[in-house]
Structure 1
Amino acid sequence: MTMKPIIIYLSLIFGILSACQQRPNVQQERENPNQEEAESHDDPIVHITAEQIKAVGIQLGPIEHKELSSTIRANGSLKVPKTHKGYVTTLYGGTIRQIHTLPGQYVRRGQLIATLANPQFLQIQEEYLTTLSRLTYAQQEVDRQQILQEGGAGATKNLQNAKAELSSLKARTASLAQQMRLAGIDPSSISADNLRGTLSIVSPIDGVIGEIIGQIGSYIEPSSPIAEVIDNASLHLDLNVYEQDLPKIKVGQTIHFRLTNSPNREYDARVNTIGSTFEANSRTIAVHCDLVGDKTGFIDGMNITGVISLGEELLPAVPDAAIVHADGKDYIFVQRDMGHSHEDEWEFTPVEVIRGTSQLGYTAITPLENLEEGAVIVLRGAFFVNARLREADADHGHAH
């Protein structure tokens, strides 16, 4: 049992010694007139044809300078404040006769949304007209009793009763008139020949119809919603920030965010207020942000991924896809001999870089060797260039 490790150990020493004895031969093989091959080994170059560039979709360009910052990433959603949402409701129950809008349609405040039918509407109008007629008679009776009282022929009690009846009828008339106004009926527009059997339900705010809850023929209870109206112009962004990151958030900070269903476009927002209570079922606090710029296409409830900038700095940066990781190091590929490359072939060499902060598809870099001003690099397709380089290295190793 103890001999086996010793044998393995001796075998390793023998292998090392053998390699050392063979080194001079290898060195002699390398010391040959082919100086170009030696330079190629010291400064690796990969050749890419124009056809390959087109087929793979390789994109070239300069290193850009981006305002990148120390950031906090957070998820959230677009929301409309409750003060800018409304339900289309009615104070009276009724059967839905017609619905005049569709989901997604923009409506104005006061615009007709639905029509209800209920015999109660006719009863209110009938009572209003009856009370209005009695009010006219009551006023005439007060005037008559007043004249009799002044002539000493009337009793004071009769005048008082007439005034009390007039006051009661005025109150009832005003009440019925207000009920009709709340129901959307103009009291001055009704008469014995013009009674309305339906009730017009209108939008309480400007906005977009989010959902139609009622159906034609269904009975709607008083105050039950028929439809929902949302004012998307008042959308804001709610970010869910964890408590350990909260001290880093300040009012006025810039938020860069992307929609979950459209990650290729970036939008901006600005921190407005910071919540003071934890969200349900999480240890996050809502950070409310105002949207900046175009809001076209935004819908209440859309999920987003946001980045909070903690401090901006102009840094050399490349797209994330321009950096390849190999052998524990990060590289970009720089085009060689700008202006001298053949039209059908291009040369690239890897340059090691140190990664910096990453933000929304860009990463700050620090090249470990000086690059010419305006140096052109591989922005997209670096993985293919790296694969070609590895293939060339493997072929070079087999050749030896």
Structure 2
Amino acid sequence: MRITQHLYLPGHLLLLALLMACNSKEGSPNATAETQAGPDEIRISSDQFKEGDMLLGNPSERAFGETLEVSGVLDVPPENRVVISAVQGGFVKSITLLVGDEVRKGQQVVSLENPEFLRLQQQYLETREQIPYKEAEYRRQKTLFEEHISSEKLFLQAEGDYRSSLARLNGLGSQLELLNFSLEAVESGNLSAVSPVFSPISGSVTRVNVRKGAFVSPASEIMEIVDRDHLHLELTVYEKDVTRLHKGQRIRFGLPELSEQQYDARVYLIGTSIDENRTVKVHAHLEGDSKPDFLVGMFVRASIELGDAPGGSGQNQWLSLPESAVVTKAGQSWILILEEKQESGYLLRQMPVVTGLSAEGFIAVEGEGLGPQSKVLIQGAFNLVEAP
């Protein structure tokens, strides 16, 4: 015997079930569209494209020269770096500068006090006062000697005393000028035990090694001042690569510890000796007016464009894309190719590529079927690419 059971639903439950079925059918086209994308395909809507600030572009042929990757530091010439020291020992009377302060050429940076400075000034004045008498005695003995009234011995003695006093006066005067005392002030009776010390260059203070009241000797380094107007690159190159360099080669360098921004320089001097690490120093001049506040000693990474240098491979034409178009994940580089532009959005395909040289924000790429007519997502690709 066959038994048939009938299920009866109340009217309001039946209506609810019908509405849910209709909504499910209306939403199905979108779900189908997502499933139409293959494993290497990505579908994004027009709104997503706009909100993600995405941009499409074409690969272009660019010339890439072979580069040499090196490292180094920012430095200044020896004449732009001075160490302030004392000509003669003394106690620090005043020092007001701190590391980072800017100073002008001729500005007083420290003052030293020593009673010996007073003795030097007194000796200068005493010697100066003796000059007129010894000069007069010298001239008198000279006249007497010429008239055969006085002996040659007395004349030579008077001449020696006079010239010795002149030499002593000039020597004391030079010492006082080295200590930055004004001879005019000393001769007018303004004596002082305090010697001012001035900066020989304009620049900024990079080191202060003393404090008020400390005794400094001529061997002491009071402070260091650096003029950054002539900053340059001091690069380290291995001996095997030196023969590939020549004056004028372009350099792109950056400060990896601060930012990814790149700056320009050119090779100016190449060292002629190899140090104990089998490396050679290469001196390069910075180019461009818009430079940040570089500091002496900053670490840099640089790419020297070898171009047609001896041993270099010259310039080569490569298909290239902006570096922002290439995404590297799990050791593989990828780009996103436009497969189809639809009314509702974009269908993109992940393409594996091989990358090569890079310069000025562009990178050489090779990929199967990739050509100048290909449409590539050159901005906004990073978050879309998925490693296999």
- Taking structure 2 as the reference length, the TM-score comes to 0.77
CA distance in 1, matches of 2:243, 2:300: 22
Between the aligned residues of both structures, percent identity stands at 29
State whether structure 2 residue 86 is matched by structure 1 residue 90: yes
Q: 1:180 to 1:276 in 2, by over 3 A?
A: same
Residues 173 and 183 in structure 2, CA contact (< 8 A), matched pair in contact too: yes
Match of 2:279 in 1: 284
Alpha-carbon separation, structure 2, partners of 1:326 and 1:83: 49
Conserved? CA contact 2:58–2:372, under 8 Å = no
Aligned residue in 1 for 2:368: 368
Partner SS, residue 346 of structure 1: strand
1:117 alignment counterpart: 113
Give 1:199 shift. 0.6
1:60–1:376 Cα contact (<8 Å) kept: no
Q: Does the 8 Å CA contact 2:334/2:385 hold for their aligned counterparts?
A: no
RMSD: 3.2
In the alignment, what sits opposite 2:70? 74
Unaligned 5+ segments in structure 1 are 1-35, 391-400
**Shift, 1:277, TM fit:** 3.2
CA distance in 1, matches of 2:211, 2:182: 26
After superposition, the Cα gap between the structure-2 partners of 1:367 and 1:261, relative to the gap in structure 1 and judged at 3 Å, is same
C-alpha displacement of 1:158: 3.4
Taking the aligned partners of 1:41 and 1:296, their CA distance within structure 2 comes to 48
Distance 1:372 1:261, change over 3 A: closer
2-side partners of 1:163 and 1:328: how far apart? 91
Q: For the residues of structure 2 that align with 1:89 and 1:51, how far apart are their CA atoms?
A: 68
Instruction: Tell me the residue number matched to 1:184.
Output: 180
For residue 207 of structure 1, report the CA deviation from its aligned partner. Answer: 2.4
Unaligned stretches of 5+ residues in structure 2: 1-31, 308-314
| Pairing 1:1-400 to 2, within 5 Å after superposition | 45-49=41-45, 52-53=48-49, 57=52, 59-63=54-58, 65=60, 66-146=62-142, 154-191=150-187, 193-280=189-276, 282-294=277-289, 295-311=291-307, 312-313=315-316, 315-324=318-327, 330-336=333-339, 341-342=343-344, 345-359=345-359, 362-369=362-369, 373=373, 376-387=375-386
Shift of 1:58: 5.5
Q: Distance in 1 between matches of 2:167 and 2:331?
A: 88
Give 1:331 deviation, angstroms: 3.6
Question: What's the offset of the Cα at 1:83?
Answer: 3.4
| Alpha-carbon offset, residue 301 of structure 1 | 0.8
Could you give the per-residue CA deviations for residues 139-164 of structure 1, whole angstroms, max 9, x where no partner exists?
Answer: 22234445555677655543332222
**Contact kept? 2:340, 2:348, Cα under 8 Å:** no
Shift, 1:100, TM fit: 4.0
Shift of 1:250: 2.4
Question: Shift of residue 172 of structure 1?
Answer: 0.5
* Count of residues in Structure 1 that have an aligned counterpart in Structure 2: 347
Counterpart CA distance in 2 for 1:115 and 1:242 is 47
More helix by share: 1
